[in-house]
A and B are shown apart, each in its own frame.
Chain A
């Protein structure tokens, strides 16, 4: 069955430090992978996505993610974190059957940024 695991429930980093959020997936075919961010009181905003091609994908707000098939991972990175990056981050895999493309989400990683 398809699933997504985000091992880190909560991470705290200092402003200006680098960030890596982990995501592992289980999917039988070629995965379509996404990272979404949810700021307090807000909806889910797409940061980036991987469908095919270059395994290093760039997203909005200076984020990037690298798809590693051998490790079934799609980790999110940012070289220098800003206070406004404090939010909850969700990794998701697209699971497709018939005419739909539902998303299966991980449990999320809550990021806190220290001044």
Chain B
């Protein structure tokens, strides 16, 4: 069964450094998402991406964050200057497309630790 994959599984970085989290969505899916889960808190929506542009973003997704689909298979989340509070599990998800009821399929996550 096709699945969403994410790399790396764990990343440790120093505050102020840039990190890039990578995702390979399920092929032929059209919508892509990033969510995060701070330890002990709920999973929160960050951003959705469709047709090579951001469809929606949350208030969390400020100027330090960016997303890109550099080729036909990868979907990346870049955090430009990491802060301690960016430490979290980051989940990538994809869905086939409209109608809106389409299921989102999640990857295993990247655990980011900012020191």
Contact = CB atoms under 8 A, between A and B. Distances in A.
A94 B100 contact: yes
A90 B98 CA distance: 23
Contact of A32 (B93, B100, B107, B108): B100
Contacts of A67: none
B42 A103 contact: no
- Chain B interface size range: 20 to 34
Interface of A: 32, 34, 36, 41-46, 49, 51, 90, 92, 94, 96-108
Nearest to B106: A44
Contact of A46 (B35, B41, B103): B103
Contacts of B75: none
A6 B43 CA distance: 13
A15 to B, nearest CB: 26
B56 A94 contact: no
A103 B94 CA distance: 12
Given A94-B101, A105-B44, A43 B56 contact: no
A57 B106 CA distance: 21
B109 A43 contact: yes
B99 to A, nearest CB: 9
Contact of A99 (B33, B50, B108): B50
Contacts of A90: 42-43
Nearest to A90: B43
Contacts of B93: 44
Contacts of B102: 101
Given A36-B106, A42-B108, A107-B41, 16 more contacts: A34-B103, A41-B108, A43-B106, A44-B106, A45-B106, A51-B101, A90-B42, A98-B56, A100-B50, A101-B31, A101-B95, A103-B45, A105-B43, A105-B44, A107-B42, A108-B43
